[in-house]
Structure 1
Amino acid sequence: MDMRPQPFEPPAPLPRTVPPSRLEIIRTVLRNPLELWGEPSYTLPWIETRFFREHTLIVNDPGLIKHVLVDNAQNYRMGDVRQLVLRPILRDGLLTAEGAVWKRSRKAVAPIFTPRHARGFAGQMLRQSELYAAKYADAGENGTVFDVANDMTELTFAILADTLFSGEIVSSSGSFADDVNALLHRMGRVDPFDLLKAPSWVPRLTRIGGQKVLEKFRSIVRNTMNLRLERMRAAPDAVPRDFLTLLLQQAGPDGLASEEIEDNILTFIGAGHETTARALAWTLYCVANVPHARAAMEEEIDRVLASGAEPVEWLELMPWTRAAFEEALRLYPPAPSINRAAIAADRWTSPGGETVEIPAGITVLIMPWTLHRHELYWDKPRAFIPERFLPENRDGIDRFQFLPFGAGPRICIGATFALQEAVIALAVLMSRYRFDLTPQTRPWPLQRLTTQPAGGLPMTVTARAA
């Protein structure tokens, strides 16, 4: 008899068994789009459907995903609804720019995010993680309750500010995490007018409250740019060779416009750390529910830290820690949807001979949220099982079955940075403390720009025995 406990299934909406009415679609999209998807989205390789007048192809098949995002990527532009949500915030930042503007921005920021360069940030990531861990120093043996979702936002912002901006983000706010939450809650949500594809100049009532916070972020960016430009003019050889300096050096008629630089800085300040923060919080929550995974991580972390290995080596030396983080990325992908629209008619034929016709103009929706929980591609898809990402098991995961960072030309440029940052942060925090559930720890995944725990994530933080 198998006496092993059933694997932990963290909270998530159950697939709908009855298609929603139009009114239900609007209500659900306003409340939480993750609750919209029905059983076919979790069981079929692709589905054609219509949302209002929107002809949509929902794609789960890894081969078809590869076709859209890689093999014929030039035939697919960004989806309309996605752009209506994101462009008011990020404008021509790297996540929302298209065509020549995107190519200029990608070329400008690429050097700072090469794997070799990203590995050079390990020391700063370690330093900021250790500084932040001191926040919990008074937790003691009986523990203290902290909102881990808020804390991870603060920690990853500190890392981003140090590594990419050399600590020179000009902000007078003492509640940056609250500002991020307010911005995403107000601005990072789909409005009914988006579904109807109303022009961007039509006011979105759901976002009116976010405009003030957005302007605050814009002000922070402009002040940060101006301070660095003053330093560059006064002592050009003394300024840090970081992301901020690199971008500002791209200004000019043959490079980036000033507005494009501002948009890219805002993209990284407002969203560059947010995805990692959410995944870190979900990781700490999930491992608190799986004792054997936490024990394996603690043993691994203690052993590697005792060996004196440099932090740049931790990503490779801590497979359990990385696996737990990637499993949290699977269950709670920070970017739960990838939206494209076909420019010209296209077709794809599966290895089994089935042909999918893709008409011009159709919206192609690739949902990491449903793909990562799909019954065709994962064993026990709703369960938290880090072992599936251990090195000996990774060959069983198709490259286009797991898309926390997207794929193709628009793959997340900071993927290596995020993985290294996450492992270092988890190693520092879990070497010193345990994060446990409280009676109030009842998270529910909520889709805004990222997959965040509604109401925060209160956990008891306790010092580990020396």
Structure 2
Amino acid sequence: MDMRPEPFEPPAPHPRTAIPSRLEIIRTVFRNPLELWGEPSYTLPWINSKFFAERTLIVNDPRLIRYVLVDNAANYEMSEIRQLILRPILRDGLLTAEGPVWKRSRKAMAPVFTPRHAKGFAGKMLAKSEEYLTKYADIGSEGRVEDISVDMTELAFAILSETLFSGEIVTQSDNFADDVDSLLHRMGRVDPMDLLRAPAWVPRVTRIGGAKVLGKFREIVRLTMEKRKARMRSDRDTTPDDFLTLLLELDGPDGLTLDEIEDNILTFIGAGHETTARALAWTLYCLSHAPQFRALMEEEIDRVITSGADPVEWLDLMPHVRAAFEEGMRLYPPAPSINRAAIKDDTWKSPNGEVLEIAAGTTVLVMPWTLHRHQLYWEKPRAFMPERFLPENRSRIDRFQFLPFGAGPRTCIGATFAMQEAVIALAVLLSRFRFESLPNVKPWPVQRLTTQPQNGLPMRVMPRSV
């Protein structure tokens, strides 16, 4: 008889059982799009529907996802509503650029994020993670309550700043995490005008308050660029050959414009660390309800660190740590939706012979949020079960069943970077401390640009006895 306790099911919206009215759809999308999806989204391989009179195809079948994002990706452009939300923030950054601009940017940045190059960041990731532990240095045996959502934002920003910008981002305050929250809360949500496909010049009332914060981020980027350009002019030999220098050296007719460089720097400062930070926080929360698996992680962490293994090897040497982080991203995918639109009429034939017609103009939604919790593809899909990602079990997971970093030509360029960063950060944090959930605190996931805990994620940080 299996005496193991039932796995923990962290807080998340349950599928809708009633068809919402048009007004209710608008309210839900504005409040929290994660609460919109009904039972079919979690049980059917695909759904043809209409959303505000527009044809919409919700895709969960991994084979169909591969077709849309890889096999026939040229026929599926970024959807209009996604661009209406993101372009005002990131303009021609890598997440929102299209056509020749995207190709130039992707080609230019690819060398920095190759697996070989990303491994070179491991030492700095370890150093910044260990440095961050000083924040908890005075925690006594009773522990202290911290907003882990804020803490992980600070840690991920520190790592990104040091690795990609050599610590030379010109921040204007110590409240960077609050600034990010404010930017995403005001700018990274769907406005009713977006649902109605109003032109970009029509004011979005919900985003008016975000203009000031966005301006602040743009100013940070400009000052950072000016400081580095001055250093490159005065003493190029001692200027770091990092991501910032690489981008600035691309300025010219055969590379990127200064505006495009600014957009990409903003993308990485404002959003590049945000996805990893959210996933780290959710993982720590889930682990607080999985003490048996956390104990296995602690044993693994202690063994590897004691062995003196180089941090560049930790990703391979800590399969339990990696599995916990991947399960955290499964349940709370940092990017909960991938939006495309069909350019031309298309036809897809399933292996069992079923034919799916996709008309030009159809919005195609590939949603990691529903895909990762889908009853056809996961055992106990709402439960936190990191063991499903251990090496002996990974072969059961289809490549297009788990999409924390997307897929196809526009897959996340920093996926290897993020995985290495997360394993190193978690290992350092859990080598010294435990993060315990608080009674009566059930963090609620909300979709902005990322999957965020509404009202933060307070947890008790406790010293760990080794």
Distance 2:368 2:190 in 1: 18
Q: Residue 166 in 1 paired to residue 182 in 2? A: no
Work out whether 1:44 is the aligned partner of 2:39: no
Per the alignment, residue 364 of structure 1 pairs with 364
Distance between the aligned counterparts of 1:134 and 1:315, measured in 2? 24
What is residue 279 of structure 1 aligned with on the other side?
279
Q: Which residue of 2 aligns with 1:9?
A: 9
Tell me the CA shift for residue 16 of structure 1.
0.3
Q: 1:303 is aligned with what amino acid?
A: R
Structure 2 residue 415 is matched with structure 1 residue 415: yes
- C-alpha separation between the residues in 2 aligned to 1:189 and 1:270? 15
Cα distance in 2 for partners of 1:17, 1:440 equals 27
Q: Structure 1 residues 346, 92: closer, same or farther in 2, change over 3 A?
A: same
- Provide Cα deviations, 1:52-72, integer angstroms capped at 9, x if missing partner: 122100000000000000000
Q: How far apart, CA to CA, are the structure 1 residues paired with 2:241 and 2:4?
A: 53
Q: Which residue is 1:430 aligned to?
A: 430
| Structure-2 separation of matches of 1:128 and 1:3 | 41
**How far apart are the structure 2 equivalents of 1:67 and 1:206?**
36
What residue in structure 2 maps to residue 338 of structure 1? Answer: 338
The Cα offsets for residues 131-170 of structure 1, whole Å up to 9 and x where unpaired, read as 1011001112110110000000000000000000000000
1:395 partner amino acid: S
Deviations 1:245-270 (A, max 9, x none): 00000010111011000000000000
- For the residues of structure 2 that align with 1:72 and 1:303, how far apart are their CA atoms? 46
Stretches of 4+ aligned residues off by more than 4 angstroms: none
Matches within 5 A, 1:348-359: 348-359=348-359
The residue that corresponds to 1:214 in the other structure is 214
Whole-angstrom distance in 1 between the partners of 2:2 and 2:299: 26
Partner-residue secondary structure (3-state), 1:403: coil
Residue in structure 1 matched with residue 104 of structure 2 by the alignment? 104
1:225 aligns with 2:225: yes
- Rounded to whole Å, the distance in 1 between the matches of 2:414 and 2:9 is 29
- 1:437 is displaced (CA, Å) by 1.3
What is the rounded CA distance, in whole Å, between the counterparts of 1:440 and 1:160 in structure 2? 34
Question: d(CA) in 2 for partners of 1:319 and 1:277?
Answer: 20
- What secondary structure, in the 3-state scheme, does the structure 1 residue paired with 2:241 have? coil
Q: Structure 1 residues 235, 91: CA separation in 2 closer, same or farther (over 3 Å shift)? A: same
**Residues 17 and 39 of structure 1 are in contact (CA less than 8 Å); yes or no, is this contact kept in structure 2?**
yes
| Aligned position for 1:250 | 250
Query: Deviations 1:85-122 (Å, cap 9, x if unpaired)?
Result: 00000000000000000001101111100000000000
Residue of structure 1 equivalent to 2:80: 80
Amino acid at match of 1:357: E
Distance 2:52 2:172 in 1: 44
Matched-pair contact (CA < 8 Å) for 1:85–1:194: yes
Number of residue pairs matched? 466
Query: How does the TM-score come out when normalised to structure 1?
Result: 0.99
**What CA deviation, in whole Å up to 9, does each residue of 1:385-438 have, x standing for no partner?**
000000000000000000000000000000000000000000000000010011
Aligned counterparts of 2:3 and 2:328: Cα–Cα separation in 1:
25
Letter in structure 2 aligned against 1:373 = R
Aligned equivalent of 1:389: 389
For residues 439 and 286 of structure 2, the distance between their equivalents in structure 1, rounded to whole angstroms, comes to: 15
Q: How many angstroms does 1:235 deviate by?
A: 1.1
Matched residues in 2 for 1:239 and 1:441: separation?
47
| Cα distance between partner residues in 2 of 1:167 and 1:308 | 26
Q: How far is 1:3 from its partner?
A: 2.4
Indicate the residue corresponding to 2:34 in structure 1.
34
Q: Secondary structure at the match of 2:49?
A: strand
**1:440 touches 1:458 (CA, 8 Å); kept in 2?**
no
Pairwise CA distance, 1:441: 2.9
| Matching of residues 421-460 of structure 1 within 5 Å | 421-439=421-439, 441-460=441-460
Q: Gapped runs of 5+ residues in structure 2?
A: none
1:18 is matched with 18
Q: Distance in 2 between matches of 1:140 and 1:129?
A: 20
Secondary structure of 1:401 counterpart: coil
Letter in 2 for 1:195: L
Contact between 1:142 and 1:462, CA under 8 Å: does it hold in 2? yes
Pair 1:465 & 2:456 matched: no
The 2-side partners of 1:221 and 1:28 are apart by 34
Code of the residue aligned with 2:399 in structure 1: it is R
Aligned to 2:53: 53
Partner of 2:120: 120
CA distance in 2, matches of 1:251, 1:65: 36
- Aligned equivalents of 2:297 and 2:228: distance in 1? 41
The aligned counterpart of 2:298 is 298
SS in 2 for 1:77: strand
Q: Tell me, which stretches of 5 or more residues in structure 1 are unaligned?
A: none
The percentage of aligned residue pairs carrying the same residue is 75
Q: Larger deviation: 434-443 or 201-210?
A: 434-443
Give CA deviations for 1:266-300 in whole Å, capped at 9, x if unaligned: 00000000000000000000000011111111111
Q: Which amino acid aligns with 2:456?
A: G
Q: Once the 2 structures are TM-superposed, how far is the Cα of residue 439 of structure 1 from its aligned partner?
A: 2.6
Counterpart for residue 135 of structure 1? 135
Letter in 2 for 1:201: W
TM-score, with structure 2 as normaliser: 0.99
Give the Cα–Cα distance (whole angstroms) in 1 for the partners of residues 231 and 53 of structure 2: 53
